[in-house]
């Protein structure tokens, strides 16, 4: 009996889809990956349990956590990856560090509605970098690759610098890796189905990625 059949018998499905990484990029960055999951959901005000969870998270997150965060394996792995792709994680913050900084600045994790709050909870709890896209605007599998000459982000006239690392579907880039999202590809007013993508880097265990995606799904499905 295969894993999928066994899972079906237990009423469990493999939760996420595995995207791919362009081979020459994967050769440079072993361990780099992208997984995503699609959930029915629309943007809107977060329900009370999610808001309460944000408050609880705020209560157990202090300045010392933010400082010592860089010593923890997963946030460290993202910092290292940022350095390796030419970003300074002390200027362009990793997702979890940006949230930590916002927490210290705002005095708490502020509710910003769904799916942002679900992403905040999962990112702070697991350290995994997550992105939300409009699932209906995506075609085929997600991937991480470098941009081709003449490519640009949807809705942006400026051509991407050659070799820019992007998240893409089969048509075109949908967002920069750890950067802006293309116009019409993010979660907007008319979104009815949300794709949550987790960017995995070297030293980040798959189970943490699955946990992060599960947390977001649980929060979105409960909304």
Partner 1 sequence: MDGHGGAGRRLTGKPRSAAAYRAKLGTGMPDLLDRDMRVAIGVGGDERLARAELRRQIGRLEREMGTLVAEAFPRMQLDAAVPAVTRPARVLDLGELEAVRDSLAARIGAARRRLSERDELETRNRELLERMLAAPAEYKWLQISRDDIGAPGCGHWHSRPRYGVLGMLMGWWRVRISSGCPLPGRLAAVEREKSEEALPAR
Which residues of the chain form contacts with partner 1 (CB under 8 A)? Answer: 20, 22-29, 63-64, 67-68, 70-71, 76, 79-80, 82-88, 90-92, 139-141, 145-146, 148-150, 160-165, 168-172, 176-179
Q: Give the integer Cα–Cα distance in Å for 197 and 194.
A: 10
Q: How far is the CB of 63 from partner 1 (least distance, A)?
A: 8
What is the token pair recorded at 222? 């409960």
> Based on CB atoms, which residue is closest to partner 1, 22 or 111?
22
The least CB distance from residue 104 to partner 1, in Å, is 13
CB of 44 or CB of 163, closer to partner 1: 163
> Two tokens at 77?
């792995």
Question: Residues of 119-139 as b/e, b for ≥16 C-beta within 10 angstroms?
Answer: bbbbbbebbbbbbbbbbebbe
Helix (H, G, I), strand (E, B) or coil at 135: helix
Structure tokens at 54: 């944000």
Indicate the residue among 52 and 156 with the shorter CB distance to partner 1: 156
Per-residue buried b or exposed e for 100-112, using 16+ beta carbons within 10 Å of the residue's own CB: bebbeeeeebebe
Beta-ladder partners of 44: 114
Give me the least distance between CB of 77 and partner 1, in Å please.
8
Closest CA to 103 of 70, 56, 71, 46: 56
Q: Nearer to partner 1 by C-beta: 19 or 43? A: 19
Give the shortest CB-78-to-partner 1 separation in angstroms: 10
Measured from the CB atom, is 24 or 60 closer to partner 1?
24
DSSP assignments along 20-41, one per residue: EE-HHHHHHSTT-EEEEEEEE-
Asked if omega into 120 is within 30° of 0 (cis), the reply is: no
Minimal distance, residue 200 CB to partner 1, in Å: 15
In the complex, minimum distance from the CB of residue 20 to partner 1, in angstroms, rounded to a whole number: 7
Taking the least distance from each CB to partner 1, the nearer of 179 and 184 is 179
């Amino acid at each position: 009996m295969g894993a999928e059949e066994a899972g079906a018998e237990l009423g469990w499905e493999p939760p996420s889809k595995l995207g791919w990484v362009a081979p020459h990029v994967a050769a440079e960055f072993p361990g780099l990956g992208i997984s995503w999951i699609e959930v029915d959901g629309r943007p809107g005000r977060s329900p009370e349990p999610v808001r309460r969870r944000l408050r609880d998270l705020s209560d157990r997150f202090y300045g010392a956590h933010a400082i010592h965060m860089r010593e923890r394996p997963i946030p460290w792995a993202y910092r290292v990856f940022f350095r390796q792709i030419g970003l300074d994680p002390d200027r362009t913050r990793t997702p979890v560090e940006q949230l930590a900084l916002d927490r210290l600045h705002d005095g708490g994790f502020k509710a910003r509605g769904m799916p942002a709050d679900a992403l905040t909870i999962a990112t702070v709890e697991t350290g995994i970098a997550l992105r939300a896209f409009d699932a209906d605007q995506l075609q085929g599998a997600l991937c991480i690759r470098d941009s081709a000459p003449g490519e640009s982000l949807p809705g942006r006239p400026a051509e991407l610098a050659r070799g820019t690392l992007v998240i893409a579907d089969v048509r075109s880039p949908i967002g920069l890796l750890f950067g802006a999202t293309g116009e019409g590809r993010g979660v907007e007013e008319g979104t009815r189905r949300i794709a949550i993508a987790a960017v995995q880097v070297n030293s980040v265990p798959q189970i943490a990625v699955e946990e992060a995606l599960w947390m977001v799904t649980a929060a979105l499905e409960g909304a």
